[in-house]
Amino acid sequence: MTQSYWKHQEKKTPPVKGEVKTYRKNQFNTSEGGSYYGHSMENNAKMAVMLRRIFPSPFKRAQYVGLQQGGALDGSVIVSAPSTFQIACGEAPVQDVAGVWYAENGDINIHAPRGRIRLSAMSIDLIATGDGSKTGYVSINANTKFDVEAGKITMASDDSVSVESETMDVNTTGKCEYNVGSWKVIEGGDFFTLPGQGNITFDQWAKTMAKVIGSFG
């Protein structure tokens, strides 16, 4: 097709933000890599600007940095690194800050489905600044084991502390001291005590019943 045809098409249907096809694209390549402008990917994602490795490449995954235009990820920066992705900074931190990852809205997800995530620093702070009701939680889930080792462990709660386990061992070579206003030990035999009798409450009786039922599992 002639060049005048493409100019006519540009005037007739000017490119709009987010369209997959583009008639105003350009690229500058060598045998090793290239820069692309208005590039459409194989999955129909449109990149306004993209830097990409071409040949030789022993990897299955493409190696590129792209500024996506259009689609659900419009305005995103997409990076594909088949090997390692490294960031080095902090030679001259500003007000003791060497790096910032700020999400104005939404979550930040870090996944390593076939590896380990390590956080290493002189000190590490985990801070939740929610509203204290629906948000403000720090949740840690481990399906095998949760190990904590420190010179000193301190826990404080404004409301309550609850520890639930099928078995629990407390071992110390020193003093074990409890300073409480009242103390109640509920055993499996308390199941046969009706709630409201003695000093067992309905909630305590329900927990005892749950223990008995769980023992049959």
3: CB partners within 8 A, 6+ apart? none
Reported confidence tier of residue 202, pLDDT bands at 50, 70, 90: confident
The pLDDT > 70 percentage for the chain reads 79
pLDDT value of residue 162 = 87
Does position 4 have pLDDT exceeding 50, yes or no? no
Does position 19 have pLDDT exceeding 60, yes or no? no
Residue pLDDT, tens place only, 70-129? 888 999 999 999 999 999 999 999 999 999 999 999 999 999 999 999 999 999 999 999
pLDDT value of residue 165 = 83
pLDDT value of residue 106 = 95
What are the Cα distances from residue 74, in Å, to 2, 22, 68, 71, 193?
32, 16, 6, 5, 64
φ, ψ at 52 (rounded to 5°) = -145, 140
Residue pLDDT, tens place only, 152-179? 999 999 888 888 888 888 899 999 988 8
- Please, what is the end-to-end C-alpha distance for the chain in angstroms? 76
**Strand 33-40 relative to strand 77-80, pairing:** unpaired
pLDDT value of residue 152 = 93
- CA 125 to CA 109: how far, in whole Å? 18
Average pLDDT of the chain is 82
The answer to whether 10 touches 19, Cβ cutoff 8 Å, is: no
Rounded to two decimals, the pTM is 0.69
Structure tokens at 162: 């609850």
Sequence letter at residue 131: D
CA 2 to chain centre: 51
Domain boundaries, the chain: 15-80, 183-217
pLDDT value of residue 131 = 93
Helix (H, G, I), strand (E, B) or coil at 36: strand
Reported confidence tier of residue 143, pLDDT bands at 50, 70, 90: very high
pLDDT value of residue 52 = 93
Calculated CA dihedral for residues 56, 57, 58, 61, nearest 10 degrees: -160
pLDDT value of residue 187 = 65
pLDDT value of residue 125 = 95
Range of lowest pLDDT (61-65, 146-150, 158-162, 194-198): 194-198
Residue pLDDT, tens place only, 53-80? 988 788 988 899 999 988 889 999 999 9
Q: Which of 199, 163, 205 is nearest to 182 (CA)?
A: 199
Place of tokens 């583009």: 22
